[in-house]
């Protein structure tokens, strides 16, 4: 009998998205959403294909997801009772979850497609669906005519892990506080060394992140940012000068948020602070420390097992981190690490910040690198 690990994740190009939207919009509780949210839900979920005879989730369906049957049939044995569910049946309109199928043995009958959706994503989208986005309007700004389509902004924001952590009330306030600005290829949006005044989100277009190392006239490319990406948060959170420059690679539109509104609506609700005792308990359960100080500071003393990822390297190295592992960021005081945790949350990473930083700890808690010993 084939095993469940024979499954294949279906790429978006293989899907008939219009058909999938129609199919899912009939399902419970997805039918209570705004239909325009279903494509967003699909883009943030995973479609899995199983060969005939596969045993599904022999260790149980994870508590944090639900499954919907899209194609084929399933043979279900639960508490001695056998049943068959076909993709075109009323029974397939209901989600498969750990709540109802905790002890079930599920086997595929023919080739089967399932979509795996996070429960939290459904809750978030349902809540966001209650937000009243104003109709599209056209305004004149210093940069020229800009079309304001807040419904489109809402769909862009839901794709960001950072924004998905926010209460719906904060999102509604953000929609009214965001200011659109038209930009051109080559425009310098942020200059390294300047004070921070705005947080930005790319509505359309792309930008390049560069840094100028000390005593070096040549810029070093750190990352490329595309539609939906955020930037500019580090200086606002740490209250220090900009640590990198951002230049537009093509014409586009940015959405910006003032420092005051960023702190009130975004920073505070998204950061999780933990004291040292709580942090060490999380570390023992498999989390990892991230030291966001410079390499020199790291060598002089760091927490055991910590990964050194200086602030300027965050966007460059974030995708190397494991999304299944929680990370606790720290620095001397908590200022830089709070900015780092916010930035890393954009990459689907679960982060927390060590409250007070390591300056509150005794030297016995730290270890010294060989190079500094």
pLDDT, tens digit, for every residue of 162-192? 788 787 778 888 888 888 898 999 999 999 9
For residues 143-160, average pLDDT: 71
Average pLDDT over residues 196-219: 86
How far CA 303 is from CA of 155, 283, 307, 317, in Å, comes to 40, 11, 9, 20
Q: Which residue has the higher pLDDT, 12 or 297?
A: 297
CB neighbourhood size of 75 (10 A): 14
pLDDT value at 13 more than 90: no
Q: Work out the average pLDDT over 334-362.
A: 91
Residue range 203-219: average pLDDT? 83
Q: What is residue 339's predicted lDDT score, i.e. its pLDDT?
A: 86
What is d(CA 183, CA 44) in angstroms, rounded to the nearest whole number? 29
Which residues lie closer than 8 Å to 39 by C-beta, 6 or more apart? 17, 21
Which region among 64-73, 97-106, 250-259, 265-274 has the lowest average model confidence (pLDDT)? 97-106
Percent of the chain with pLDDT over 70: 91
Task: Report the pLDDT value the prediction gives residue 306, as an integer from 0 to 100.
Answer: 97
Band (225; pLDDT cuts 50, 70, 90): very high
CB 127 within 8 A of CB 164: no
Alpha-carbon dihedral of residues 241, 242, 243, 249, nearest 10 degrees? -170
| pLDDT tens profile 278-305 | 999 999 999 999 999 999 999 999 999 9
* Residue 90 phi, psi (nearest 5): -65, -30
- Position 6 scores a pLDDT of 78
Contacts with 56 (C-beta within 8 Å, 6 or more apart), sequence order: 4, 50, 74, 106, 107, 108, 114
Token pair of 340, please? Answer: 């780092």
Question: Could you give the CA distance from residue 263 to residue 274 in angstroms, rounded to a whole number?
Answer: 19
> Which domains are present in the chain?
4-119 (2.60.120.10), 131-268 (2.60.120.10), 271-372 (3.40.250.10)
């Amino acid at each position: 009998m084939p095993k469940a690990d024979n499954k294949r994740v279906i790429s978006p190009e293989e899907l008939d998205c219009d058909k999938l939207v129609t199919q899912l919009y009939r399902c419970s509780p997805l039918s209570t959403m705004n239909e325009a949210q279903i494509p967003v839900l699909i883009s943030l979920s995973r479609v899995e294909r199983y060969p005939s005879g596969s045993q599904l989730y022999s260790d149980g369906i994870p508590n944090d997801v639900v499954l919907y049957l899209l194609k084929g049939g399933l043979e279900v044995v639960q508490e001695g009772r056998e049943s068959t569910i076909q993709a075109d049946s009323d029974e397939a309109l209901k989600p498969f979850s750990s709540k109802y199928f905790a002890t079930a043995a599920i086997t595929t009958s023919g080739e089967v497609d399932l979509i795996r959706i996070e429960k939290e994503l459904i809750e978030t989208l349902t809540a966001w669906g209650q937000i009243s986005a104003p109709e599209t309007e056209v305004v004149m700004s210093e940069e020229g005519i800009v079309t304001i389509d807040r419904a489109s902004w809402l769909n862009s924001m839901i794709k960001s892990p950072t924004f998905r952590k926010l209460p719906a009330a904060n999102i509604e306030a953000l929609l009214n506080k965001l200011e659109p600005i038209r930009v051109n290829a080559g425009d310098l949006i942020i200059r390294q060394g300047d004070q921070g005044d705005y947080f930005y989100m790319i509505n359309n277009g792309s930008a390049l992140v560069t840094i100028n190392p000390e005593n070096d006239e040549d810029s070093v490319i750190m990352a490329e940012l595309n539609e939906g990406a955020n930037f500019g948060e580090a200086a606002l959170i740490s209250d220090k000068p900009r640590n990198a420059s951002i230049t537009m690679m093509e014409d586009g539109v940015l959405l910006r948020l003032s420092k005051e509104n960023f702190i009130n609506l975004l920073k505070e609700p998204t950061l999780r602070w933990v004291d040292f005792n709580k942090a060490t308990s999380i570390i023992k359960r498999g989390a990892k420390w991230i030291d966001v100080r410079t390499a020199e500071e790291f060598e002089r003393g760091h927490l055991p097992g910590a990964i050194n990822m200086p602030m300027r390297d965050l966007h460059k190295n974030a995708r190397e981190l494991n999304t299944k592992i929680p990370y606790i960021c720290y620095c001397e005081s908590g200022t830089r690490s709070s900015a780092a945790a916010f930035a890393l949350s954009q990459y689907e990473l679960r982060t927390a910040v060590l409250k007070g930083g390591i300056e509150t700890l005794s030297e016995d808690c730290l270890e010294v690198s060989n190079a500094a010993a």
